[in-house]
Structure 1
Amino acid sequence: MKRTMGIEEEFLLVGDDGRPVARASEALDASEVVGDLTRSPETGGGALETEFMEEQLETATHPRHDLTELAAEIRAGRQRAQTAADRVGVRVAALATSPWPFEGTTVARLRYLEARAAFGLTAREQLTSGCHVHVAVADDAEGVAVLDRIGPWLSVLLALSTNSPFWQGEDSGFASYRSQVWARWPTSGPARSFGSPEAYRQAVDDLVATGTILDRNMVYFDARLSSRYPTVEIRVADVCLDADTATLLGALARGLVETAAREAAEGLAAPVLRPELLRTAAWRAGRSGLSTELLSPHTWRPAPAHDVVGQLVAHVRQALVDAGDLDAVTDLLGRLWAGGGGAARQRAWHAESGDLRAVVDRAVEATHA
């Protein structure tokens, strides 16, 4: 039986001028009145929720075994978000940061307001949109064995997703500036090896006991055990400009989890995780995306991005074959290389028009293409 996978995507709400607008709660309230939030697996589209900021909506698919079904539900979720946004006259854009300057509006929930008070500018500037992939695991023991093995490859997933070159009205110089903003949280980034569920839980308890974070849900490792589902949650990616790239992330994430679980079951030792190298690899992936070089997980030396992505595919190839995903992944990667990633496309639109509003308009089109 193939492992299930699910995708959570966070989106910006923007007005006609392309600037973020704080209408998420209103959009959900209006949609609930007309019954737009059906969450049955047969209907597709999954959940629709607010996020940390009123300028955001979040979608979530149901767990899916089949990649084609996942792709369809990602598109349905994006349309569901736009249907809700239509109720209040705004648009949904798959942008991991706003190209325009903004002042974020925290959703009026006690936990979010507490975070805003405790974390200052880090919280106030957290108008960033990510893509989280959940992949099923048998239990916490398998989940920790997976976490101990997939870390070297997570920076490659970030590179594939990079979709946030602009920040507060300027080109940041990064393909994923969201990853820089997200790195401000005290528990974000790569983690060490744990070896057992007990050691993982103790690490989480120790972080909470520092009094620095509010609760266990603020342990923001690049990959973690989900607190709600029997899954490994991979949290490193930008929200993807188009649904195809989100689908690609789902397939590769499942391939990584399956490959790691098989290695653990076969008694193969986990790699030695060096957080300083993992953090540097992620920084470099966020800086240049697919445009130049990434750090190869085989050598921790620079190599062309195309080659490092090829190493990832080779690493998970048997899992992709067994899931029936290899042809789809090959096709989706071909489209990504041909069209450019989200960051490259945003910069090209800006070079063509010189107008951030045009960038947002084109991004809205790409979100629903």
Structure 2
Amino acid sequence: MSFAPTHPRTPSAAAVPAFAVAAPGVRTVGVEEELLLVDPRTGRTVAAGPALAMAPRPGGVGASPVALEGVVVPLETELQQEQVETATPPRTCMAEVTADLRRLRRAADAAAQDVGAHVAALATYPLPVAPVLTPNPRYEAIRAQMGLTCAEQLTGGCHVHVGVASDEEGVAVLDRIRPWLPVLTAVATNSPFWRGADTGYAGYRTQAWYRWPGTGPCDPFGSAAGYHAAVAELLATGTLLDEGMVYFDARLSAHYPTVEVRVPDVCLDVQDTVLVAALTRALVDTAAARWRAGEPIPADPTPVLRMAVWRASRSGLEDDLVHPRTHRPRPAGEVLAALVDDVRAALDANGDLHLVERGVERVLTHGTGARHQRAVARASGRLEDVVADAAERTLA
């Protein structure tokens, strides 16, 4: 979700090596995950995010629960105290991303145990809850502005950062990946329950999230200047506190020279997260190559894309999706296969083709986190067991 205050974008990758594009042309990927803090014995949330983020750790590394190959990786607070956020270092190899995600989840869980909690990769909390706002003047200003939308906000997203060479390349990518983002939404669906009920959606987080202003798909921007002008126009309305609240489905990062794709739910299984990350990088590669080749921006109407993301949120991979090429409903497996075909050359060049083909087969056969959550609920009849199972599966 990243409610963190915005900072000026750094104009060059060299100035911020954290998400720089790696030679010889393989783009870096970084993944942020928002995790719930829960007590698996009761299924209840634990409002301890600030304590986890600020607690000293062994080895004198201050707020950091883990160091990945010498890179200090802190836990970050979120809007509500029932959550923490992790972020991987930039990687070019998906095996490293996988290892980082597993290590970060374990480290966050170990830190959570110090306050009697565990972490759970749930994109919505299944039971009724009154979230506790994290003490912070900016968050208090957000609550004053957004009212009930803020008071009820307790969702977990997965944000994938992919390195780009410039704002111009980044905006060219944003304009060209738009029709495929709902497919990523479908692959990552992991939020069927909300406030004690089955919502009928596989990814209800998207519906809850779209209550915020500044969310959703956008019209093409055409250029970096067009993007920054659009952001300035939104801020000029006085509705958003700052650029950090421009919550487009995909945006230029305010902190790093990256494109940040924000549509996925946090995934129950790390393998699903890595599948989404590999597909996202391939989409960025493919879009950038088409821009360099002078191909025009696809003319997908934004209202149609909103229909597509709604259907993806509603059924995930369990029913038809809107095909990005025809704008007509087609079986989810067919649409997912079309995505893989569209970015196949990039997947192959990145060494990710086999990983993605296996991952697609897995999610189509075994389902997303939403299917698993519902299976647990059917078996036990208790949403508390869904929470406990998620806490265990998060570390599996």
Q: How does the TM-score come out when normalised to structure 1?
A: 0.97
Cα 1:45–1:294 shift into 2, 3 Å = farther
* Structure 2 residues not aligned, in runs of 5+: 1-24
1:194 match: 221
Render the CA deviation track for 1:93-112: whole Å, top value 9, x for unaligned: 00000111000111111111
Shift of 1:113: 0.9
Alpha-carbon distance between aligned partners in 1 of 2:103 and 2:207, rounded to the nearest angstrom: 30
1:313-324 alignment to 2 at 5 Å?
313-324=340-351
Shift of 1:338: 2.8
Alignment of 1:60 with 2:87, yes or no, is yes
Alpha-carbon distance between aligned partners in 2 of 1:312 and 1:274, rounded to the nearest angstrom: 19
2:27 match: 3
Render the CA deviation track for 1:261-313: whole Å, top value 9, x for unaligned: 00000111110131101111001100000001100001000000011010110
2:126 match: 99
Render the CA deviation track for 1:21-40: whole Å, top value 9, x for unaligned: 21111222334476471665
1:46 match: 73
Alpha-carbon distance between aligned partners in 2 of 1:31 and 1:293, rounded to the nearest angstrom: 49
Cα 1:142–1:360 shift into 2, 3 Å = same
- Is contact 2:65-2:75 (8 Å) kept? no
- Is contact 1:45-1:76 (8 Å) kept? no
1:347 match: 374
1:75-224 alignment to 2 at 5 Å?
75-224=102-251
Task: Give the residue type in structure 2 aligned to 1:188.
Answer: T
Shift of 1:63: 0.7
Match of 1:308 among 335, 339, 348: 335
Alignment of 1:256 with 2:283, yes or no, is yes
Shift of 1:358: 1.1
Render the CA deviation track for 1:132-169: whole Å, top value 9, x for unaligned: 00000000000000000000000000000000000000
Task: Give the residue type in structure 2 aligned to 1:27.
Answer: L
- Is contact 1:44-1:73 (8 Å) kept? no
2:7 match: none
- Say which SS state the counterpart of residue 146 (structure 2) adopts: helix
Alpha-carbon distance between aligned partners in 2 of 1:168 and 1:100, rounded to the nearest angstrom: 5
Alpha-carbon distance between aligned partners in 2 of 1:295 and 1:96, rounded to the nearest angstrom: 23
- Is contact 2:102-2:270 (8 Å) kept? yes
- Say which SS state the counterpart of residue 240 (structure 1) adopts: coil
Cα 1:102–1:340 shift into 2, 3 Å = same
Shift of 1:43: 4.7
- Say which SS state the counterpart of residue 75 (structure 2) adopts: strand
Task: Give the residue type in structure 2 aligned to 1:14.
Answer: V
Alpha-carbon distance between aligned partners in 2 of 1:250 and 1:25, rounded to the nearest angstrom: 28
Alignment of 1:366 with 2:393, yes or no, is yes
Deviating above 6 A after TM superposition, structure 1's stretches of 4 or more consecutive aligned residues are none
- Say which SS state the counterpart of residue 232 (structure 1) adopts: strand
- Is contact 1:346-1:359 (8 Å) kept? yes
* Structure 1 residues not aligned, in runs of 5+: none
Match of 2:51 among 12, 21, 26: 26
Q: Identical aligned pairs, as a percentage?
A: 51
Render the CA deviation track for 1:229-282: whole Å, top value 9, x for unaligned: 000000001000010000111100000000000000011111013110111100
Task: Give the residue type in structure 2 aligned to 1:116.
Answer: R
Task: Give the residue type in structure 1 aligned to 2:249.
Answer: D
Alpha-carbon distance between aligned partners in 1 of 2:175 and 2:29, rounded to the nearest angstrom: 19
Alpha-carbon distance between aligned partners in 2 of 1:44 and 1:181, rounded to the nearest angstrom: 34
- RMSD of aligned alpha carbons: 1.3
- Is contact 1:191-1:221 (8 Å) kept? yes
- Is contact 2:126-2:387 (8 Å) kept? yes
Render the CA deviation track for 1:151-206: whole Å, top value 9, x for unaligned: 00000000000000000000011001110000001110001101111110010011
Shift of 1:361: 1.2
Q: How does the TM-score come out when normalised to structure 2?
A: 0.91
Render the CA deviation track for 1:8-33: whole Å, top value 9, x for unaligned: 00011111211112111122233447
1:245 match: 272
- Say which SS state the counterpart of residue 354 (structure 2) adopts: helix
Cα 1:39–1:197 shift into 2, 3 Å = farther
Task: Give the residue type in structure 2 aligned to 1:3.
Answer: R
1:289 match: 316
Shift of 1:331: 1.5
- Is contact 2:29-2:91 (8 Å) kept? yes
- Is contact 2:108-2:119 (8 Å) kept? yes
Task: Give the residue type in structure 1 aligned to 2:153.
Answer: Q
Render the CA deviation track for 1:61-104: whole Å, top value 9, x for unaligned: 01101110011101111111101101101010000001110001
- Is contact 2:88-2:97 (8 Å) kept? yes
Cα 1:343–1:38 shift into 2, 3 Å = closer
Match of 1:270 among 264, 288, 297: 297
